Structure formats: C-alpha cells, structure tokens
Structure 1
Amino acid sequence: MTVRHSGGGQPERTLALLWRNQRQQGSQRQEVRRTAGRRPSLDVDGVVQAGIRLADERGLDAASMGGVAKALGVGTMTLYTYVPSKEELLDLMVDEALAERQLPGPGESRPTDWREQVEVYSEQTRAMYERHPWLARVSTVRPPVGPGMLAGREYLLSTLLPLDLSPRDTNTAALAITTYVDSAAGLEAENELVERSSGQSNEAWWYDRNDLWETYFDVERHPAMTAIWNANGYQDTVREAATDAYRYGLDRLLDGVEAQAKSL
C-alpha cells in the first residue's frame, strides 16, 4: 500500500481552504444576502465529504479528483474550481476526519481527572481510525494545520496544564501521548486495510505459518521466547495481544507523566 503525505499543497491556498468556515463566520450574514435565491449545488464541504465517503467505501485511491468528480456528477475541471489539487483535497479530508473527534473545547464539560481526559482523546482517536482506516495510508509528518488538528493539540495541552509541569515538559508530554495514541490507532487501521485487501484475517495468516514453530524454531537460540511460551505468557489471538499492548503502553506512559508531576 502506497503511503501518501499530507501538507503538500500550496501553503496560502491550503490554509484558506482549511479555515474557510471559521473565516466565513464573521461575514455569514453578508454571504447569505449575496447568495439569496441562488444556492450553489456544490461547495467545498460537499467535495470533502464525497472524498471521505469514497475513501471509506473503496479506499484512498478511489478518492482521486476524477473519482470524486464522478461521484458528484460533475466534470473534473469543475471540481478544481472548489479544490485546486489532490494535495489540498487530501489535507481537507484528513483534517475533517480529525475534527469529527468529540473532544471538549474550552468551557465545555469534561471528566475531572486528567487521565480520564486523556482516555477521551484515546477513545475518540481510535474510533476515528476505525471509521476511516484509509488514514493509516496518510503520513502526517507535515500535518494539515487546520481546525481539526489544532483542536486535538489544544485538548491534550489543556488536560496536562493542571499538572504544573514546565511549559516545555507539558508540550513534550502532549506530543508523546499524541505520537503513541495516533501511531497505535494507525497500526490497527492498517491491519484492517490489509485484511480487507487480502481477504485473509491476521489469525489465518499466522495459522498458515504454523510450520515455523514445528520445523524452524530453535529453543536454544530463543530462550526468552521459549520461557514466555512455557509460562503461558502469550495471548490467545493477535487482536487480544495488540489490545493488551496498547493498554499497557498508554498506562505506563501516563504513569511516567504522573510521576514527574508528583516529583515537582
């Protein structure tokens, strides 16, 4: 599966598209007067939603400019008048997916315990990847700097501020949590994509390779693995192992943040 990279569009144009709705809020009344009686049949929001639907149903490759135009019943050149390139379309799709997460904003109700607040981020992010597994094919090393992305950053920073870490450590801890949760959720989504494309579950894939243990595995060269096996340390299924590993990693990461805060 080819990995695509966000953040590849023309900066000023991409920012204007990502922040189009916030920018338009102040002039909404004038816009209503200007377009009264001539409601457009297509807008940027509609293009983005069509792209997401295609990617959800048929994979990221289906959400090309031509594919989206066909789904909307317009010519590809018409689509370019709303979203100028595939790079901008990808950024818009990713940030729209990020914005779907139900993360409480400033002044909104949220759990009182900071770890429970992090759990909200974790659950919402994993659910987002489950709804949109094509996100696993998008590298956000250069992220779409839109409202969806910034909402996630703001939420995590706000959960950690009460710990009274230094500003630098607060930001570092938030980045560590983001890296861990997003990477793990992306790996789960990638597993889903592989199972879809291959038509074979991960359990079946490992079953086909059972001969590894009978024919090739050397207990003397792998004493640690053998000891864990003999002590029933391995989970029953691949999915259970991934779930337990995720839970273990996040808990230990938050334990470390909490220990640092208590040491101050």
Structure 2
Amino acid sequence: MGEYCLHHSQEVAEVAERTGTGDPLQSIALLWGTNPRTGRSPLTLDAIVEAAINVAAEIGIDKLSMRKIADRVGVGVMSLYQRVPGKGELIDLMVDHVNGCAYDTDEPPDAASGWRSAMEEIAARNWQLFLQHPWVLGIDTSRPPLGPGTTAKYDLELTPLIGIGLSDVETDQVLALILEHVKAAARVSLGVAETAEATGNDDHDWWATAGPLLAALIDEKQFPNASRIGAASGAQYDSAVDGELQFQFGLRMILDGVEQLIASK
C-alpha cells in the first residue's frame, strides 16, 4: 500500500477539517485517476499525499497547510496547486488512502466462525486505524471521500453482514453504528494519552491523588449513585475512564442488539 501507511504520534484534534468540502468533480477525478492534473514539476500526487499524511501525523490535522506540505517536499506552494486544486481535495485523498491501508489484503475478515466474530475483527482493525492515524479523528467524514480506498473498505466490511437476515439499510446502519462507536472510544483512549503527556503524569497517578480526595468530599447520602458507582468504576479503571474497556463493552452491546434484531425477524 506504500510507505506512507506508517504512522507517528500526534494530538487528537477536535474536528478541524471535513471531507467533501472540495470540488466533487475534481476530487473524484483525483481519487480515481480519471483526469490527473499535470504540471512542470516531477512531483507526483502520491508524494504529495505521503507528505501530507506525515505532516498531519507530526503536527496535527488542525495545523496542516499547503505551505507546510510544500516545504516538506521541497517545492513552492504553487507546484502543489498544479497537482491538487486545494486543501479540501487533498483531505479527501489523505483519508481515502488511509482507508485503503486498513486491511493488508482484499480478503474480507474470516466469517467462518460467524458474522459476529468477523465484525469484532473489523472493529479491532478500525480501532488500530485510529490509534495509528489519530489525526483522522480530527476530520468529519459525514461526506465520505468517494475514492477506491474508502469504497473497497466499505464493501469489505459489509461482507460479513450479507445474508444474515438484515435489510440493505439495516446492514448499512449496523456497520455505521459499529464504526462510530469505535471512533468515539478511540477518541477517549487517545485523549487520556494526550492529557498524560500534557501534564507529565498518567491517569493512574492522577487518580491515586484525586480519587481518595473526591471520595472524602462526596456525601454518600446526597449522591448515593455517584458515590457507589463512581467508586466501583474508579477501582476497576484505576482512573476516571477506560477507553479500551468502553470500546469492548459497547461493541458487545451493539452486537447483542444486532443478534436480537435478527432473531426478531
């Protein structure tokens, strides 16, 4: 899939960019290579996308600019615009490429043990995608990049849900629900890591100080639910939150619900 499937750590930004903001005709032409833009520079579109992904990984999607990408590849910013009309189209290319790198092969996850185990594998792959490319969490993809990487990923991830009793719309909704859950849990997990880096102490150290103090201040009679459940959760997490546990628990609840939906038909 190319060298720029590699990753670097970087901050998880709030939504700073959106796919689908560029000219859709130009974006689709670039994604599918139907009308490639050419210029005097030997710089390739792949090299630009690679540089953009590396810069976003290092400084965050919110700080990404065409000038910084141009500096990375050693050309003037106008040379970039000869290949890519704008940042909106480039964001589409970046996300589509990462989506295309999500799976090592074009084979769907093994559904031999049933659709549920296959969807667990798909969820795990997407969990790893966000951990490897946290800058993607700073991009709203409600208008997905309509390129070959995103299309192949979507088609592959739908495969285990075909023929299990869901309608086409239900199939799409189940996959979307799983992927959005993974995205939310990944944001929690990576947010914890960012806070630890910013403060110089991890959540376990913070909770070791804050937990007992909070327990002493909260009146069990005034806040019976918060005191009991908060204490139990804090003891389990050794922190206030646990993104990975949230990921696993929520996924199990979603898949349980899908099983009930299928059984009800």
- After the TM superposition, which residues 157-196 of structure 1 pair with which residues of structure 2 at under 5 Å, given as runs? 157-196=158-197
- CA gap 1:205/1:13 in 2 versus in 1, 3 angstroms: farther
Counterpart position of 1:18: 31
Q: 1:97 to 1:198 in 2, by over 3 A?
A: farther
Aligned residues: 249
Deviations 1:53-76 (A, max 9, x none): 111123224531011100101001
The root-mean-square deviation of aligned C-alpha atoms, in Å, is 3.0
Q: Identity across aligned pairs (percent)?
A: 31
1:143 paired with 2:155, answer: no
Q: Does 1:7 align with 2:20?
A: yes
Task: Give distance in 2, aligned partners of 1:108 and 1:254.
Answer: 18
Residues 200 and 132 from structure 1, CA distance in 2 versus in 1: closer, same or farther, beyond 3 angstroms? farther
CA 1:60–1:196 in 2, change beyond 3 Å: closer, same or farther? farther
Cα distance in 1, alignment partners of residues 180 and 109 from structure 2 = 25
Deviates more, 1:218-227 or 1:6-15: 218-227
- Residues 245 and 159 from structure 1, CA distance in 2 versus in 1: closer, same or farther, beyond 3 angstroms? same
Q: Separation in 1 of the partners of 2:48 and 2:133?
A: 17
Q: What residue number does 1:27 align with? A: none
**Distance in 2 between residues matched to 1:240 and 1:225, nearest whole Å:** 14
2:70 matched to 1:66?
no
Structure 1 counterpart of 2:264:
263
In 1, Cα distance between equivalents of 2:207 and 2:240: 12
Which one-letter code corresponds to 1:11 in the other structure?
A: P
Distance of 2:244 and 2:198 partners within structure 1: 22
Q: Which of the two has higher C-alpha Rg?
A: 1
The Cα offsets for residues 107-143 of structure 1, whole Å up to 9 and x where unpaired, read as 6673412112112211211111111111121122222
Any stretches of 5+ residues in structure 2 without a counterpart?
1-12, 36-40
In structure 1, the gaps of 5 or more residues are 25-39
Which whole-Å CA distance do the structure 2 matches of 1:138 and 1:123 have between them? 20
Whether the 8 Å contact between 2:127 and 2:186 is mirrored in structure 1 is yes
Give, in whole Å, the separation in 1 of the partners of 2:79 and 2:58: 23
Query: What amino acid does structure 2 have at the position aligned with 1:217?
Result: I
